[in-house]
Structure 1
């Protein structure tokens, strides 16, 4: 996937979409449970995103179940007075006749990130950590936060032994439907060699109200149904 093997996963849907550039006010993130309607190349599925907190530790999980299999991506980070630091990430996918599991570990005492599991030797790291680094699922919540705050949408994303610049532009306002209700959302877009990642953010929602990725002609679409 050229744009993001993140919040939306390769043939399946999501790996997904917290620690963007700069500090945020402590307490901005609160526990939630969200459900999505997922579509990949015309096939329907269901998606769930949740955030759990234990002390200053946060765990965000994005999972998608579809006809061809399932994908779960988790991201763990510490919130130290508004400064968020990645702790670990997991990318677990199950397809017909195939499984894949990748784990990322972010060691701030050494200032490096490493990956294990189903990762090629030359993609295991280390990569030098930088303040504000995001992982794929972290990117989703970082966009929600920064669009609402009017901040620049520029990030460095770490995934499977690679660091990639992820810069988005605001494409305007659109109306989306969430659980039968019309909602005005800000659409932000990133393009890469003809592929596109679009994310919709709306006031009053802690998660993207829609995510759509076009990758080599294949379209993956997640539409928020409910959140509490």
Structure 2
């Protein structure tokens, strides 16, 4: 499965980053026209390590992605991630390991030989799942630039988000002013809506050739 969420490598922030706190966010999900429920969680797993997960469940599809990462203040290092999907009878499963001692990332499972790695790691690299934490933090800090280096799916890639507008989004009967950011990537585009004080995107929209491919709309946050 292609990464559900495009990711970014960390840029320096002038503002002091807020401490990570566990959460569970529930989304109304649409994936390739199929409806379901999305659940995004952040949990501490011991020491300075955290697990960040996204699960999408529908009638004929199940998508799962999670990342274990190390947090040192506002600096995050992906350590491993897993990505699996079940769409009708088609299954896919991938696993990534980020070895910071060797400064390399490798992939196993349902991956092509040219996407198995190794890919050299640089300070600040993130994987695809950490996009939510990084872009939310940076937009809320008021940063003008959101350019990042992603290491995921057997490659390293530079990504740039830009602010494209402001909208009002309603969640559980409450209105939120949200900043809309967009990242074009060839035939694909990722759009996120980010609100002050909310640790996850209010909405995540992924388009392919101009058509909506995945749409997650926040419904609750605990």
Deviation at 1:98, TM superposition (A): 1.6
Shift of 1:194: 4.3
**CA distance in structure 2 between the partners assigned to 1:96 and 1:58 by the alignment:** 31
In the TM superposition, what are the counterparts of 1:1-228 in structure 2 within 5 Å? 5-7=3-5, 20-22=10-12, 28-53=19-44, 54-151=46-143, 152-219=145-212, 220-228=214-222
Q: Distance in 1 between matches of 2:191 and 2:74?
A: 27
Q: 2:160 & 2:154 partners in 1: Cα distance?
A: 19
What is the alpha-carbon root mean square deviation over aligned residues? 2.0
| Distance 1:127-1:41 versus aligned 2 partners, 3 A rule | closer
Query: How far off its partner does 1:21 sit?
Result: 2.5
For structure 2, list consecutive stretches of 5 or more residues without a partner in the other structure.
Answer: none
Specify whether residues 84 and 120 from structure 1 end up closer, same or farther in structure 2 by C-alpha distance, changes over 3 A only: same
Show structure 1 runs of 5+ residues with no match.
8-15
Query: How far off is 1:78 after superposition?
Result: 0.8
Q: 2: distance between equivalents of 1:49 and 1:173?
A: 24
Q: Look up the SS of the partner of 2:43 in the other structure.
A: strand
Distance in 1 (CA, whole Å) between partners of 2:21 and 2:81 is 19
Question: Equivalent residue of 2:114, what SS?
Answer: helix
Residue pair 1:22, 1:132 contacting (<8 A) in 2 also: no
Stretch of structure 1 that moved more, 185-194 or 111-120: 185-194
48-57 or 26-35: bigger deviation: 26-35
Distance 1:17 1:156 in 2: 8
Structure-1 separation of matches of 2:107 and 2:153: 6
- Distance in 1, matches of 2:92 and 2:126, equals 21
Number of aligned residues? 218
Q: Residues 162 and 18 from structure 1, CA distance in 2 versus in 1: closer, same or farther, beyond 3 angstroms? A: closer
Contact 1:135/1:157 (<8 A) preserved? yes
- The structural deviation recorded for 1:40 is 2.9
Provide the TM-score with structure 1 as the length reference. Answer: 0.88
